[in-house]
Amino acid sequence: MTDKSVLIIDDSPTNRKMLADILKDEVDVLEADTGEKGLGLLKSHIGHIGIVLLDLIMPGMSGFDVLSEMKREHMMDYVPVIMISSADEPGNIEKAFDLGALDFISRPYSERIVRRRVLTTISLFQKQASIASKIDRQYKADDELIDKRTGLPYKKNFFNQVDTALRNPNLVPLYMVAMDIDHFKLFNSYYSWERGDEYIKKIGSILASSTQRHGGVAGYLGGDDFALLCPARFDLVNSLSEQLNRYLSENSFEPSFRTNFGIYSVDMARATDAKALYDLAAIALETIRGDYTRTVTVYDPAMIQKEQDEYKRLLNIRSGIKNGEFTIYIQPKVDMNTGHILGGEALARWIHDGTVYSPGLFVPVMEKNGLISSLDKLIWDRSARYIKKLIGEGINPLPISVNISTTDIFTMDVPEFFSELIRAYDIPPALLEAELSESTFQKAPERAADVVSRFHDIGMSVSYDDFGSGYAPLSTIESMDVDMLKIDTTFLRMSHENPERSRNILEPVLAMAQQIQLPVIIEGVETEGQADFLKRMGCYYAQGYLFYTPMPTERFTRLISDPAMVETEGLMIGAPQAYRVRQILSSDYISDDMVTNLFGSIVILNRIGSIVHVGWSLLDHYRNSSLQELVDKDNSTSISDFVQDEDREKFDRLFESAVENKDQGAKGTITFVTSEGQIRVRIRLYYLRSNVNEQIFYSMLDQIDE
| Residue 586 pLDDT | 44
Strand order in the sheet with 225-231: 217-222, 225-231, 174-181, 259-265, 296-298
* 479 inside domain: yes
| Cα dist from 92 to 79, 150, 162, 326, 447, whole Å | 21, 49, 56, 18, 33
Please tell me whether the peptide bond between 108 and the residue prior to it is cis, using omega within 30 degrees of 0: yes
DSSP state of 576: P
Closest by alpha carbon to 186, among 379, 371, 409?
Answer: 409
| CATH code of residue 274 | 3.30.70.270
Q: Closest Cα partner for 578 from 491, 488, 503?
A: 503
Task: Report the pLDDT value the prediction gives residue 477, as an integer from 0 to 100.
Answer: 65
Domain boundary among 110, 136, 162: 136
29-32 sheet: strands from edge to edge: 29-32, 5-9, 49-55, 81-86, 103-107
Instruction: Answer with the one of 111, 136, 161 that is the final residue of a domain.
Output: 136
The pTM for the full model equals 0.49
**Residue 388, pLDDT score:** 95
Q: DSSP for 594-656?
A: HHHHHHTTEEEEEEETTEEEEEEE-GGGGTTSTTHHHH-TT-SS-GGGGB-GGGHHHHHHHHH
Contacts of 271 (CB under 8 A, 6+ apart): 166, 277
In order of 12, 49, 56, 78, 81, the CA distances from 70 in angstroms are 22, 14, 14, 10, 10
Q: β-pairing, 326-335 with 341-352?
A: antiparallel
Question: pLDDT at position 383, please?
Answer: 95
CATH number at residue 428: 3.20.20.450
Q: Are residues 373 and 262 in the same domain?
A: no
Q: How far is CA 605 from CA 218, 336, 655, 700, in A?
A: 73, 19, 10, 10
CA angle 336, 339, 340 (to 5 degrees): 115
Are residue 532 and residue 664 in the same domain, yes or no?
no
Amino acid at 607: R
Sign of CA dihedral 102, 103, 104, 105: negative
| Torsional class of 148: left (φ above 0), alpha (ψ -120 to 50), beta (otherwise) | alpha
Structural domain includes residue 573? no
Question: Going by DSSP bridges, is the β-strand pair 611-617/355-357 parallel, antiparallel, or unpaired?
Answer: unpaired
Q: How far is CA 165 from the centre of its chain?
A: 48
Positions in the chain whose pLDDT score sits under 50: 1, 471, 495, 574-600, 706
Q: Which residues of 652-661 are buried (b: 16+ CB within 10 A; e: fewer)?
A: eebbebbbee
Residues 513 and 616 in one domain: no
Q: What is the CA radius of gyration of the chain?
A: 32
- Domain end, chosen from 531, 548, 565, is at 565
Surface-to-core class of residue 179, CB atoms within 10 Å of its CB (0-12 exposed, 13-18 middle, 19+ buried): buried
Same domain for 315 and 240: no
* Pair (599, 512) in one structural domain: no
| Amino acid symbol at 505 | I
pLDDT at 190: 67
Domain coverage including residue 688: 590-703
Which stretches of 426-522 are DSSP H helices?
Answer: 438-443, 445-458, 474-479, 490-497, 499-515
Counted residue by residue, the chain has a size of 706
Q: Are residues 370 and 514 in the same domain?
A: yes
Same domain as 230, residue 109: no
Chain-centre distance of CA 596, in angstroms? 47
pLDDT of residue 575: 44
Strand arrangement, sheet containing 695-703: 611-617, 602-608, 695-703, 677-690, 666-674
Pairing of strands 355-357, 677-690: unpaired
Return all residues near 203 (Cβ < 8 A) that are at least 6 apart. Answer: 150, 179, 181, 226, 244, 259
Residue 261 lies in a domain: yes
**Per-residue buried b or exposed e for 355-387, using 16+ beta carbons within 10 Å of the residue's own CB:** eebeeeebbbbbbbbebbbebbbbbbbbbbbbb
Indicate whether 669 belongs to any domain: yes
Query: Is 92 a domain residue?
Result: yes
In 3D space, the residue among 256, 525, 185, 189 whose CA is nearest the CA of residue 405 turns out to be 256
| Co-location of 124 and 199 in the same domain | no
Establish if 578 belongs to a structural domain: no
Instruction: Give Cα 534 to chain centroid, integer Å.
Output: 24
Is residue 548 assigned to a domain?
yes
pLDDT of residue 591: 47
Residues 6+ apart with CB under 8 A from 406: 256, 437, 439, 440, 443, 444
Residues 525 and 629 in one domain: no
Q: Is 513 exposed, middle or buried (0-12, 13-18, 19+ CB in 10 A)?
A: buried
CATH of the domain at 83: 3.40.50.2300
> Phi/psi of residue 402, each to 5°?
-130, 150
Same domain, 71 and 118: yes
How far is CA 378 from its chain centroid? 14
> Are 544 and 668 part of one and the same domain?
no
Nearest C-alpha neighbor of 500 from the set 537, 468, 544:
537
Task: Classify residue 523: in a domain, yes or no.
Answer: yes
Do 87 and 190 share a structural domain? no
CATH number for 670: 3.30.450.20
The number of distinct structural domains making up the chain is 4
